[in-house]
């Protein structure tokens, strides 16, 4: 099989794009890990301050890093969900039996609706 220069160029472009996106995502992941580590340190410091002096100021100071930490954890969880969906899509599989049954249920409902529509159209043609 002979590769044309267009195919080679396309492969090179996709390679460069992938190279840039991988580098960018790794740098973002490094930043995210550093942010999580600093938030964990802030939470630990605020917790020790609250243990020593449980004032409302210390409690408020602890709430801000905790909410930021939980937001970062939710963002990471959403990323994991997207990655798992992409893997399922690439492999052509469903996540588990539950989703497979849901898919089959929706297909059967669509089939019933199509059959009813077809029957109604035939009845309208007859009358």
3 three-state secondary structure: coil
Are residue 60 and residue 113 in the same domain, yes or no?
A: no
Are residue 39 and residue 87 in the same domain, yes or no?
A: yes
Closest CA to 123 of 4, 115, 56: 115
CB neighbours of residue 39 within 10 Å? 20
The answer for residues whose C-beta is within 8 angstroms of residue 94's C-beta and 6 or more apart is 88, 100, 103
Q: What is the CATH number of the domain that holds 57?
A: 1.20.58.90
Are residue 84 and residue 110 in the same domain, yes or no?
A: no
Alpha-carbon gap, residue 69 to 67, rounded angstroms: 5
Please report the pLDDT score of residue 56 as a whole number: 80
The stretch 56-82 carries a mean pLDDT of 82
pLDDT of 109 strictly over 90: no
Residues of the domain holding 120: 94-127
Alpha-carbon gap, residue 1 to 11, rounded angstroms: 16
pLDDT of 13 strictly over 90: yes
pLDDT digits (tens, 9 = 90+) for 39-63: 989 988 888 888 888 788 877 888 8
Q: In percent, how much of the chain has pLDDT > 70? A: 70
């Amino acid at each position: 099989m002979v590769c044309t220069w267009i195919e080679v160029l396309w492969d090179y472009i996709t390679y460069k794009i992938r190279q840039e996106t991988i580098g960018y995502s790794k740098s973002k992941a490094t930043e995210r890990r550093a942010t999580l580590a600093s938030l964990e340190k802030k939470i630990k410091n605020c917790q020790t301050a609250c243990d020593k002096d449980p004032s409302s100021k210390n409690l408020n100071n602890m709430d801000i890093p905790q909410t930021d930490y939980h937001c970062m954890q939710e963002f990471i969880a959403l990323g994991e969900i997207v990655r798992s969906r992409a893997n399922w899509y690439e492999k052509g599989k469903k996540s588990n039996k539950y989703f497979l049954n849901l898919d089959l249920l929706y297909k059967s409902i669509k089939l019933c609706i199509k059959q009813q529509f077809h029957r109604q159209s035939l009845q309208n043609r007859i009358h």
